[in-house]
């Protein structure tokens, strides 16, 4: 089953949820028009489906073998990558001064979704290169920018992120890699990094590693970490490549999924030290990383949407082909397509509704992050930045959690054919599983939401988010369209649950009981995501209703209303249960040692 980019649905969501056309009209994106966005998405979709999607199985089977320190990428990947970069796709979100196209996150988001739906392992390398470009753009010296940015933006070179060490995963306090100052202003880096995505490969002639390390006199903890650019090959003043730097790939992991993405152990300084160049200020490396954290986390959230959509498309196709049993009320006496069985329909609707809801959350987050950069009014920009910051952990964790769930339901829809590798349904589940772990585990996202994001501006940001949810609920309630069923009532109840759970979190944190708040952080994030997702689908449904009222007969509109209703009536009622878990579940979590003692 090949991949069909859902360009119409993406464009509809961009307008209905993230206000793309309103922002264009307001001049937030001066160089954009509806038509331009549509044609970019159409072209990206064609490339994703025809060039990238065929790489997915190839990469899964071939993996990325390491021999003599060199990683060989799967057959056809280099050609596809080169064509992709030459098509300008890597440059889409980068600034124009270094050859980028300067397009907003909101336009890049659907493109990212298509690259990742086509082949997650392929799209992951460029996602990290994008993070390296951002870090250098915002924090790099002019000399560093001049040396590296144009090549990274064009895609001729790729970038990596080197944070993790064996003893330092979620907790970067424990980081040990070292950096020694040199007379010429450069640094010598020594240490070992693990799980480095695209740490070594043969797609590009150079790789620029961004590495976190400590100076000898650095303060302890995260205030003593600096960020360095460490090229694989040294770069001369005229841009030509010189000697191999003292960095090597010592191993490639064997793993559950994304087999086409080389996950490398990197050794820096075997022969005395890898030459590195400081990015930003000494001991401020983590702050530099945090600058791009929102975008990187949103990128991973979009990977969740992407894999969910791919799994859904495949399951729907299979459910239309496979015939078993007789569906209630089926005509004739033959077997029915399994898509006609109510339980399979429930599965498929759950897949579709979760996918579209998480897409809506991700696009809304992208729009806020864009507005933070593009609106002129400082107060409005700050409000957008804070709303983007609040929504980011929800976008990352909710979308990747549902990515795994949807891919798992996809296996179920296939029956035994899902468990064997032949159909590809199993690969989606295996590939999806990493998304809840990297770029900050989903547990860490939930902690971030509760401890750092809810208190933003004294709680005003989350109150603004609740007010917005109530506005959507009010609009749904005002519609008398019977096709909406109980959507407005369910959303009203769920918003109240979120409001009470938020109040409980606030009181609990103010009462200095972080252990209680943290015990409920993950169910709280799920509750937030469910309500935000339901509101997004509600906005899409209302826009569909308006289009129908204006005479637009596209069959997708009735489907959009049906999806919002399904989500509200079948998935959203979990909100009340999650509220109880958040507000009354902590004590039994604290009793865990009674049961976990071995
Ligand atoms: C395929 C793959 C690609 C990766 N790519 C990169 C890369 O390119 N660059 C890079 O630097 N890293 C990369 N990573 C590393 C990844 O970011 C880490 O694995 C991740 O941050 C988790 O760290 P850890 O594995 O050490 O788990 P741990 O930190 O040991 O966490 C284990 C469990 O404990 C929980 N936990 C930990 N601390 C807390 C806490 N304070 N409160 C509550 N729960 C907690 C976590 O949520 C998790 O469930 C990659 C990993 C993989 C597997």
Angstrom distance (rounded) from CA 119 to CA 60: 10
Residues 6+ positions from 409 with CB-CB distance below 8 Å: 311, 315, 347, 350, 351
Residues pairing with 381 in the sheet: none
Look at residue 369 and tell me whether its pLDDT is greater than 90.
Answer: yes
Q: What is the mean pLDDT of residues 383-391?
A: 97
* 29's tokens: 């994106």
Q: What is the pLDDT of residue 29?
A: 85
**Cβ(434)–Cβ(258) under 8 Å?**
yes
- Could you list the beta-strand ranges (E) of 163-289: 178-181, 187-197, 206-213, 226-231, 233-235, 241-244, 247-252, 263-268, 274-279
Calculate the alpha carbon distances from 253 to 83, 257, 260, 524 in Å. 28, 11, 11, 34
How does the average pLDDT of the chain come out, rounded?
96
For atom 25 of ligand 1, which residue has the closest CA?
169
Q: What is the pLDDT of residues 397-431, one digit of tens each?
A: 999 999 999 999 999 999 999 999 999 999 999 99
- Could you list the beta-strand ranges (E) of 129-176: 157-162
Phi, psi angle pair for 74, to nearest 5°: -60, 160
Q: What is the mean pLDDT of residues 289-302?
A: 88
Q: Which residues line ligand 1 (CB under 6 A)?
A: 128, 161-164, 169-170, 195-197, 255, 263, 434, 437-438, 441, 443-444, 447
Angstrom distance (rounded) from CA 366 to CA 364: 5
Look at residue 333 and tell me whether its pLDDT is greater than 90.
Answer: no
Q: What is the pLDDT of residue 337?
A: 96
Q: What is the pLDDT of residue 158?
A: 98
For atom 37 of ligand 1, which residue has the closest CA?
170
Q: What is the mean pLDDT of residues 306-332?
A: 96
pLDDT tier at 204, thresholds 50, 70, 90 = very high
* Percent of the chain topping pLDDT 70: 100
pLDDT tier at 57, thresholds 50, 70, 90 = very high
* 333's tokens: 């006496």
Q: What is the pLDDT of residue 289?
A: 85
Q: What is the pLDDT of residue 227?
A: 97
Residue whose entry in the numeric block shows the structure tokens 């590939």: 431
Q: What is the pLDDT of residue 25?
A: 85
Instruction: Report the candidate in 68, 11, 21 with the shortest Cα–Cα distance to residue 42.
Output: 11
Look at residue 598 and tell me whether its pLDDT is greater than 80.
Answer: no
**Cβ(212)–Cβ(176) under 8 Å?**
no
Angstrom distance (rounded) from CA 191 to CA 189: 7
CA 396–ligand 1 middle distance (angstroms) = 14
CATH-assigned architecture of domain 54-87+119-283 = Beta Barrel (2.40)
Q: What is the pLDDT of residue 292?
A: 75
Look at residue 189 and tell me whether its pLDDT is greater than 90.
Answer: yes
Residue whose entry in the numeric block shows the structure tokens 């308006």: 546
Angstrom distance (rounded) from CA 484 to CA 545: 10
* 124's tokens: 């992951």
Look at residue 107 and tell me whether its pLDDT is greater than 90.
Answer: yes
Q: What is the pLDDT of residue 536?
A: 98
Q: What is the pLDDT of residue 332?
A: 83
- Per DSSP, the three-state class of 330 is coil
Residues 6+ positions from 554 with CB-CB distance below 8 Å: 547
Angstrom distance (rounded) from CA 229 to CA 160: 10
Angstrom distance (rounded) from CA 444 to CA 522: 9
Look at residue 203 and tell me whether its pLDDT is greater than 80.
Answer: yes
Q: What is the pLDDT of residues 213-268, one digit of tens each?
A: 999 999 998 899 999 999 999 999 999 999 999 999 999 999 999 999 999 999 99
CA 198–ligand 1 middle distance (angstroms) = 17
**Which active-site residues does the annotation give?**
439
Q: Best substitution site from 431, 435, 441, 445 to test ligand 1's pocket, by max atoms within 8 Å of Cβ?
A: 441
Calculate the alpha carbon distances from 208 to 38, 72, 155, 256, 436 in Å. 33, 18, 11, 27, 26
Q: Is 151 exposed, middle or buried (0-12, 13-18, 19+ CB in 10 A)?
A: buried
Q: What is the mean pLDDT of residues 6-22?
A: 95
Look at residue 1 and tell me whether its pLDDT is greater than 80.
Answer: no
Q: What is the pLDDT of residues 514-539, one digit of tens each?
A: 999 999 999 999 999 999 999 999 99
Angstrom distance (rounded) from CA 196 to CA 208: 12
Q: What is the pLDDT of residues 120-154, one digit of tens each?
A: 999 999 999 999 999 999 999 999 999 999 999 99
Q: Best substitution site from 121, 124, 129, 164 to test ligand 1's pocket, by max atoms within 8 Å of Cβ?
A: 164
Look at residue 291 and tell me whether its pLDDT is greater than 80.
Answer: no
Residue whose entry in the numeric block shows the structure tokens 């077997």: 335
Angstrom distance (rounded) from CA 2 to CA 454: 42
For atom 16 of ligand 1, which residue has the closest CA?
438
CA 214–ligand 1 middle distance (angstroms) = 20
CA 418–ligand 1 middle distance (angstroms) = 28
Q: What is the pLDDT of residue 278?
A: 98
Q: What is the mean pLDDT of residues 170-197?
A: 97
* Percent of the chain topping pLDDT 90: 93
Domain ranges of the chain: 54-87+119-283, 444-589
Q: What is the pLDDT of residues 464-477, one digit of tens each?
A: 999 999 999 999 99
């Amino acid at each position: 089953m090949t991949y069909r980019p859902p360009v119409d649905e993406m464009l509809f969501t961009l307008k209905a949820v993230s206000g793309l056309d309103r922002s264009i009209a307001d001049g937030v994106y001066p160089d954009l028009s509806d038509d331009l966005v549509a044609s970019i998405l159409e072209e990206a979709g064609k490339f994703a489906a025809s060039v990238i999607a065929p790489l997915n199985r190839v990469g899964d089977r071939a993996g990325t073998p390491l021999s003599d320190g060199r990683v060989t990428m799967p057959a056809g990947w280099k050609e596809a990558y080169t064509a992709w970069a030459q098509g300008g796709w890597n440059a889409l979100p980068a600034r124009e001064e270094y050859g980028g196209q300067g397009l907003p996150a909101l336009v890049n988001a659907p493109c990212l979704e298509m690259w990742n739906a086509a082949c997650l392992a392929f799209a992951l390398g460029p996602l990290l290169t994008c993070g390296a470009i951002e870090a250098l753009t915002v924090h790099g010296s002019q000399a560093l920018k001049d040396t590296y940015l144009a090549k990274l933006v064009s895609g001729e070179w790729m970038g990596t992120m080197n944070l993790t060490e064996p003893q330092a995963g979620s907790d970067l306090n424990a980081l040990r890699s070292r950096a020694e100052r040199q007379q010429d202003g450069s640094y010598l880096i020594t240490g070992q990094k693990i799980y480095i995505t695209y740490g070594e490969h043969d797609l590009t002639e150079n790789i620029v590693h961004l590495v976190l390390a400590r100076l000898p006199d650095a303060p302890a903890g995260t205030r003593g970490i600096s960020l360095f650019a460490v090229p694989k090959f040294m770069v001369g003043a005229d841009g030509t490549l010189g000697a191999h730097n003292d960095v090597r790939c010592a191993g490639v992991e064997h793993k559950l999924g994304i087999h086409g993405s080389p996950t490398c152990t990197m050794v820096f300084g075997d022969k005395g030290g890898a030459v590195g160049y400081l990015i930003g200020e000494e001991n401020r490396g983590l702050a530099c990383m945090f600058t791009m954290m929102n975008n990187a986390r949103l990128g991973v959230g979009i990977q969740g949407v992407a894999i969910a959509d791919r799994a859904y498309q495949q399951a729907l196709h299979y459910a239309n082909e496979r015939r078993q049993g007789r569906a209630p009320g089926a005509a004739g006496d033959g077997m029915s397509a399994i898509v006609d069985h109510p339980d399979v329909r429930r599965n498929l609707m759950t897949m579709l509704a979760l996918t579209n809801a998480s897409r809506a959350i991700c696009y809304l987050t992208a729009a806020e992050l864009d507005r933070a950069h593009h609106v002129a009014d400082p107060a409005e920009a700050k409000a957008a930045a804070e709303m983007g910051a609040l929504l980011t952990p929800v976008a990352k964790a909710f979308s990747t959690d549902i990515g795994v769930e949807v891919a798992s339901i996809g296996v179920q829809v296939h029956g035994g054919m899902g468990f064997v590798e032949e159909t590809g349904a199993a690969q989606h589940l295996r590939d999806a599983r990493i998304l809840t772990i990297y770029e900050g585990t989903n547990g860490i996202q939930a902690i971030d939401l509760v401890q750092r994001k809810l208190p933003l501006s004294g709680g005003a940001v989350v109150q603004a988010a609740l007010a917005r949810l109530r506005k959507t609920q009010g609009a749904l309630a005002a519609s008398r369209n019977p096709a909406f069923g109980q959507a407005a009532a369910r959303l009203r109840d769920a918003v109240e649950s979120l409001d009470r759970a938020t109040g409980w979190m606030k009181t609990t944190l103010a009462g200095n009981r972080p252990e209680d708040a943290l015990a409920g952080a993950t169910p709280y994030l799920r509750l937030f995501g469910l309500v935000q997702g339901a509101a997004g689908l509600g906005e899409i449904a209302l826009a569909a209703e308006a289009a129908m009222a204006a005479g637009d007969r596209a069959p997708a509109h009735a489907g959009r209303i049906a999806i919002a209703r399904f989500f509200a009536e079948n998935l959203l009622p979990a909100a009340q249960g999650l509220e109880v878990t958040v507000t009354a579940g902590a004590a039994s979590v604290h009793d865990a040692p009674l049961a976990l003692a071995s």
